[in-house]
Every structure is written in structure tokens, then in C-alpha cells.
């Protein structure tokens, strides 16, 4: 491997699911500084290999898989250990799909095994997320009184059978919190340095969580509560409201490029803020920026912050949410 700026990083891929076929493979094939080298899964993905003119492998013995410059692990989080351990031993930088780990202990174990780890918490690159951060950090509008965040809605048929990994807690790590909240929590983690869980109420269906109401404490110069709800069982509008003394700012935090409305406390809209952030207007752009950021960090390996690149704070918050939720 070389750190030349002209170097094309050869990326090996573990996992041939939808996220790989629709996003990672097309992107890695199009970027100037990356190219797919091979793809491997429990069932050999021959057609994908032929389509992208790369080698394909059935995973039976990990030691038989070739080396590469970067390995992408796009498997369910519950079966990630052996892949991270194997490529950590080889000293190969590892980039994983979200969420990064099931719990804090596993997260710390992965970090101790490898110096070169990153995770695809790509929504931190949304223009909406960057504008959210700008509003919080600039203190332009005065003291924040509270923040309320809602997302989700009633989910009908997903065409996911009982054998899919999302229906298996051992594979997925859980339901709506692991699968969806992790993205929003990664944005919170990137904006707020000191965030703790005060209260967590979780609704379960069998072994999977389908709704959560969480109250966070934001500890800053002026402490304030952050109330977050995610649900799959009730109608709800995707919306964040930042409350100040006499007004609030409203936007859709789940959209790559949302409008930001300043409203009176009675809901009447006053005007819209212009979002001048120049990051990601789409999920595809957010994937690109996440990959590009990871590759750039590899050029200065001595200063890689793996806790930040894998959002250790996100894993910590998820662990606290489950722990407090079970206690209550």
C-alpha cells in the first residue's frame, strides 16, 4: 500500500446485500481514488463479480480471502467480529456499515484490535445536519430552551420475512433503535460534546424495539433537555424543533437538504433561513463524503481518531438507552 495522492485504493467487500449493490459498489467504481478488488459472501456473488469485473468468493475460510488496501464490512452487526478480527490482524484499514458495534465493550474491543477503523454514519454530512450544527454552535439566536426531535411513522409491509437479519436480534442487534436511531444519534454525537440519557421508555414486539421515547440532557454553557421519539407504530412527522425564548426553528432532520423555518410559539411561520452549507444534498453524496473522509484520514495514519470515525459516543448512547429502558 502507498499513500500517494494518485493511488487507487483497492477495496475488498464483505457482504453482497442491497446496501452494497445499490450504493457501495457503484460509488467505489466511480470514485477516482478507489476501485473494488473483490466481493465475498456466504454464497458466492458470481453475478456481481462478473458485472464489476472483480473476483467473487464464497466465505468458508477467511484466511483464504486476498489482501486489499481497505476492507468494507457490510454484514449485519451481530456477525461482524470474525471479519474485524481477521483484517485487523493483517493491518488492513476497515470501513463498516452502521451501526458499528452492539455495545460499548465490543466497540472498545474492536478499537483495541485495529488502528484503522471507520463507520458509515453518513448522515452527519447532510446539509441539514451541518445547518443544525451551525445553529447550535454559533449561538446566533440566543439561549436554547429545549429541543424536540420526532421521526418514524407507521410501517406497513416491508417484504422482509422472518428469516431476514432485521428480524433477528442476534444479527441486527435490535429493532428501530439500532437500525434507524443510530443515524440520528450519530448526528447528535457530532454536534453535542456532552450528552447523557436521563430517561428511556421502550416498546417491544417480541425481541425487537418498535418505539422509544428518550430524554437526553445536553450539558453545555446553558443546559437544556433534548426530547427524542422514534416509532414504527404511530403516525408521526419527521421534525426537529429548536426552542428559544420567543420562537422556534423547525426542520426535517431526516432529509439531506431540509428547509429551516422560524416560527412563533403558536406555530405561525415568520420566515425561512437560508441553508448555505455545501455538503450533501442526497444520500449518495453523503456516502461519497464519508468514504472520502475515511480515505483522507488514511494518508495521515499517526493522527487517526478511531473513536471519532466509528462514533463511540453513538454506541455509548445506544447502550444507555437500552440499559435505562430495561430498568424502567
| pLDDT at 220 (0 to 100) | 74
What is residue 109's three-state secondary structure?
Answer: helix
**Does residue 189 form part of some domain?**
yes
Do residues 29 and 164 both lie within one domain? no
Closest by CA position to 102, among listed 164, 172, 167, 165: 172
- Residues 104 and 116 both lie in one domain: yes
Q: Sort residue 148 into left (φ over 0), alpha (ψ -120 to 50) or beta.
A: beta
pLDDT digits (tens, 9 = 90+) for 226-266: 999 999 999 999 999 999 999 999 999 999 999 999 999 99
The total of structural domains in the chain comes to: 2
Query: DSSP per residue over 61-86, as a string?
Result: -GGGSPP-SEEEE-S-GGG-HHHHHH
242 within 8 A of 135, measured Cβ to Cβ: yes
311 assigned to some structural domain? no
* Domain co-membership, 107 together with 210: no
Question: Do residues 97 and 144 share a domain?
Answer: no
Its domain, for residue 27, covers 9-120+284-301
Distance of CA 246 to the CA centre of its chain: 33
Residue range 158-174: mean pLDDT, rounded: 59
Element (DSSP H or E) covering residue 111: helix 104-113
Round to whole Å and give the CA distance between 168 and 207.
8
CATH number at residue 45: 3.40.50.720
CA angle, residues 45, 50, 51, in degrees to nearest 5: 100
* C-beta of residue 165 within 8 angstroms of C-beta of residue 178: no
The three-class DSSP label of residue 102 is: coil
Residue with cell 416509532: 231
Judged by average pLDDT, the poorest of 162-166, 221-225, 257-261, 270-274 is 162-166
Same domain, 230 and 136: yes
pLDDT at site 5: 60
Question: CATH number, domain at 256?
Answer: 3.30.360.10
> Both 65 and 95 in a single domain?
yes
Backbone phi and psi for residue 215, each to the nearest 5 degrees, phi listed first: -115, 120
Contacts of 220 (CB under 8 A, 6+ apart): 192, 193, 194
1-15, 105-119, 182-196, range with the lowest pLDDT: 1-15
Whether residues 102 and 27 fall in one domain: yes
Note the pLDDT tens digit of each residue in 177-201. 999 999 999 999 999 988 999 999 9
Supply the DSSP symbol for 178.
Answer: I
**Residue 76 covered by a domain:** yes
Q: Which of 124, 128, 120 is CA-nearest to residue 96? A: 120
- Shared-domain flag, residues 151 and 213: yes
Q: Cα(166)–Cα(145) distance, rounded to whole angstroms?
A: 37
How many CB atoms sit inside 10 A of residue 325's CB?
A: 20
pLDDT at res. 245: 94
Q: For residues 220 and 249, state if they share a domain.
A: yes
4 inside domain:
no
pLDDT value of residue 231:
96
Q: Are residues 253 and 137 in the same domain?
A: yes
Residue 159 has a pLDDT of 44
Give the DSSP letter of residue 122.
Answer: G
pLDDT above 70: residue 145: yes
Residue 313's pLDDT is what?
97
Residue at 31 is within a domain: yes
For residue range 27-74, what is the model confidence (pLDDT) as tens digits? Answer: 999 999 999 999 999 999 999 999 999 999 999 999 999 999 999 999
CA angle 269, 270, 276 (to 5 degrees): 100
Q: Are residues 129 and 105 in the same domain?
A: no
**pLDDT for 163 beyond 60:** no
DSSP assigned state of 181: I
CA distance 236 to 226: 17
- Structure confidence at residue 1 (pLDDT): 42
CA end-to-end distance (rounded Å), the chain: 51
In a domain, 306, yes or no: no
Q: What is the pLDDT of residue 212?
A: 97
Grid coordinates given for 198 = 436521563
pTM beyond 0.85, yes or no: yes
Query: How much is the mean pLDDT over the chain?
Result: 91
Asked, for residue 215, whether it belongs to a domain, the answer is yes
Rg of the chain over CA atoms, in angstroms?
Answer: 20
pLDDT of residue 328: 57
Is residue 50 a part of any domain in this protein? yes
The set of residues, in sequence order, having a beta carbon less than 8 Å from that of 118 and lying 6+ positions away, is: 93, 94, 95, 96, 290, 294, 297, 306, 309, 310
Name the one residue in this structure whose C-alpha cell is 484466511.
63
Q: What is the mean pLDDT of residues 138-153?
A: 92
Do 157 and 225 lie in a common domain?
yes
Q: Is pLDDT above 60 for 156?
A: no
> Per-residue pLDDT tens for 275-318?
999 999 999 999 999 999 999 999 887 778 999 999 999 999 99
- d(Cα 80, Cα 53) in Å, to the nearest integer? 26
Q: What integer pLDDT is reported at residue 140 of this predicted model?
A: 85
**Between the CA of residue 24 and those of 36, 44, 74, 75, 298, what are the distances in Å?**
9, 18, 9, 13, 19
Amino acid at each position: 500500500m502507498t499513500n500517494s495522492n494518485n493511488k487507487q485504493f483497492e477495496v475488498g467487500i464483505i457482504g453482497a446485500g442491497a446496501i452494497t449493490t445499490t450504493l457501495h459498489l457503484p460509488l467505489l467504481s466511480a470514485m477516482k481514488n478507489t476501485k473494488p478488488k473483490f466481493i465475498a459472501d456466504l454464497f458466492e456473488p458470481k453475478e456481481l463479480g462478473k458485472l464489476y469485473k472483480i473476483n467473487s468468493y464464497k466465505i468458508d475460510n477467511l484466511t483464504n480471502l486476498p489482501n486489499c488496501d481497505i476492507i468494507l464490512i457490510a454484514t449485519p452487526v451481530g456477525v461482524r467480529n470474525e471479519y474485524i478480527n481477521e483484517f485487523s490482524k493483517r493491518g488492513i484499514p476497515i470501513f463498516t456499515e452502521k451501526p458499528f458495534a452492539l455495545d460499548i465493550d465490543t466497540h472498545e474491543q474492536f478499537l483495541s484490535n485495529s488502528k484503522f477503523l471507520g463507520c458509515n454514519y453518513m448522515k452527519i454530512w447532510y446539509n441539514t445536519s451541518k445547518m443544525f450544527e451551525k445553529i447550535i454552535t454559533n449561538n446566533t439566536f440566543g439561549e436554547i430552551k429545549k429541543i424536540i426531535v420526532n421521526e418514524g411513522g407507521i410501517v406497513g409491509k416491508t417484504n422482509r420475512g422472518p428469516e431476514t437479519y432485521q428480524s433477528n436480534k442476534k444479527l441486527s442487534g435490535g429493532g428501530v433503535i439500532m437500525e434507524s436511531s443510530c443515524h440520528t444519534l450519530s448526528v447528535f454525537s457530532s454536534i453535542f460534546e456532552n450528552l447523557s440519557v436521563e430517561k428511556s421508555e421502550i416498546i417491544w414486539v417480541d425481541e425487537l424495539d418498535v418505539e422509544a421515547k428518550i430524554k437526553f440532557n445536553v450539558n453545555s454553557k446553558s443546559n437544556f433537555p433534548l426530547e427524542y421519539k422514534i416509532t414504527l407504530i404511530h403516525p408521526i412527522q419527521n421534525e426537529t424543533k429548536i426552542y428559544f425564548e420567543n420562537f422556534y426553528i423547525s426542520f426535517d432532520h431526516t432529509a439531506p437538504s431540509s428547509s429551516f423555518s422560524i416560527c412563533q410559539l403558536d406555530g405561525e411561520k415568520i420566515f425561512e433561513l437560508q441553508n448555505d452549507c455545501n455538503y450533501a444534498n442526497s444520500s449518495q453524496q453523503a456516502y461519497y463524503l464519508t468514504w472520502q473522509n475515511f480515505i483522507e484520514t488514511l494518508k495521515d495514519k499517526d493522527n487517526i481518531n478511531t473513536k471519532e470515525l466509528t462514533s463511540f459516543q453513538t454506541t455509548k448512547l445506544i447502550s444507555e438507552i437500552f440499559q435505562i429502558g430495561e430498568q424502567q
